[in-house]
Chains A and B, each alone.
Chain A
């Protein structure tokens, strides 16, 4: 329903912009993903208590109804003319209840990433990049946000060494055309000028898939991705 509304809005607005097409679709899985294990937060009693009534599960594979796959980053990996300038507004990454919120965050290269600690105890935030630079910063309770940037495109695992169940991802992209799927698995990449593009879908556990699309005018192209559950 929502999708239809969004489409209608696009249909109304886009003819006004010269050559603005949309690539949209849905990410699903086939097979049976292993059931996510509940996280054992015994080492941090505050968090264990906080989640006692509804235990938090490992978020490396999050699915929705109708085999929808969440936390997939769908983005233009080739064909984007020129490098998009990083937007001025920062993206926030929070530590709350011994979880990273959101589990996967997307930033553009050189865009500000603001890391906050909403818990009343210490976290250390420790990204483990290969192309960007590894660092490790302590953020005790009440500490101000940590502002960082990454300049190279990369999918960076993030850990808290103190709470070993905390895992997340910083996804750094050059393009401004990206979409992060939620529980319904759908994505939309609007404002694409005519051209040939490679669209990549990335999932932290299931890897990458690509599809090529050619856009000639103001159209909406539908492409879907399907990952094999491991």
Chain B
């Protein structure tokens, strides 16, 4: 049987395209293939392959957070072209450290569609970070911010909890989070993120022993969250407004709002009769 030369040519192109696509799907260091991509260093090239395999479904090929799964997700996937990140150790408006992005990859973001990518391992995390940095020029023109200093935690005492309550009042956290931290403050219903999507404030009462904040789970994480703010959301940075000791007192008070989660703070409060002194009282 004579095969038409043209048919053969088209067939070869189709075969070549197919295998390119397949290698794209399976690329990255884990599969042993590297996708060649112009202008990227080796790590970012490996990251590109991994991105095509694990990330683009939500974050999109252009990294703009508009992957095919995005319409079904709330909160929406991160738009890497803006280089704005919620979970940082650095001040609001600055780029995060690699270690901040690493933590997000490692731990995921609870209460969102972002899972933990711990199984991929350190090198894959590094490669993915190298690749997502190619989506924004900011990574070329700016340096990451200087991390906010977190002094050693102060003792958990009733004095600290009581004073933390005063700080909570002074900073008017209840405007969004509500007087009992249940995410039901007067502004809660109208909050929008920077992409104009409706967003709910954190409900402290919802927390259980196994739950996490979006950006961590320790007292230090909680300290960092209100100091740096969660960029791209309505949660602002309080770094200019709160002194370190006041900040630790606020952390201790906030823990008492997590009524369904065991904590040292709740034990101290329980021992003292379960009552927080009103300011001035």
Contact = CB atoms under 8 A, between A and B. Distances in A.
A210 to B, nearest CB: 26
Interface of A: 43-44, 121-122, 124-126, 128, 130, 133-141, 143-144, 146, 161-164
Nearest to A147: B240
B55 interface: no
Given A122-B172, A161-B191, A143 B241 contact: yes
Contacts of B240: 137, 143-144, 146
A121 B84 contact: no
Given A134-B194, A136-B93, 10 more contacts: A43-B186, A44-B186, A121-B175, A130-B82, A133-B138, A134-B232, A135-B231, A138-B237, A138-B238, A162-B234
A121 B172 contact: yes
Contacts of A136: 92-93, 229, 231, 233-237
6 contacts: A43-B187, A136-B231, A137-B92, A139-B241, A143-B241, A164-B191
B175 A162 contact: yes
B190 A137 contact: no
Contact of A140 (B91, B92, B138, B170): B170
Contacts of B93: 133-136
Nearest to A145: B240
A43 B82 CA distance: 31
Given A137-B229, A139-B241, A128 B176 contact: no
Contacts of A44: 186
A149 to B, nearest CB: 11
A127 to B, nearest CB: 9
Chain B CB within 10 A, most for which of A44, A121, A136: A136
Contact of A164 (B92, B170, B190): B190
A129 to B, nearest CB: 10
A70 B6 CA distance: 67
Given A140-B171, A164-B190, A124 B82 contact: no
B186 A140 contact: no
Contacts of A124: 234, 236
Interface string B87-124: 00001111000000000000000000000000000000
**Most chain A beta carbons < 10 A, residue from B142, B171, B172:** B172
Bin the interface of chain B by size.
Answer: 20 to 34
A161 B186 CA distance: 12
B231 A161 contact: no
A151 B82 CA distance: 16
A128 to B, nearest CB: 6
Contacts of B233: 136
Contacts of B236: 124-126, 136-138, 161
Complex A-B, nearest 8 residue pairs according to Cβ-Cβ distance, in ascending order: A135-B93, A161-B234, A122-B172, A124-B236, A138-B236, A135-B92, A136-B236, A164-B190
A130 B94 CA distance: 14
B150 interface: no
B190 A43 contact: yes
Contacts of A121: 172, 175
A122 B234 contact: no
Contact of A128 (B191, B194, B229): B194
Contacts of A128: 194
A133 B175 CA distance: 26
A162 B171 contact: no
Nearest to A144: B240
Contacts of A126: 194, 234, 236
Nearest to B226: A138
Interface centre among A43, A130, A137, A138 (most CB of B within 10 A): A138
B192 interface: yes
A2 B172 CA distance: 46
B256 to A, nearest CB: 21
Nearest to B84: A134
Interface in B156-188: 170-172, 175-176, 186-187
Contact of B172 (A125, A135, A140, A144): A140
A3 B262 CA distance: 71
Nearest to B94: A133
Contacts of A143: 240-241
A195 B125 CA distance: 55
A90 B64 CA distance: 35
B231, B232, B236: which has the most chain A beta carbons within 10 Å? Answer: B236
Contact of A161 (B170, B172, B192): B192
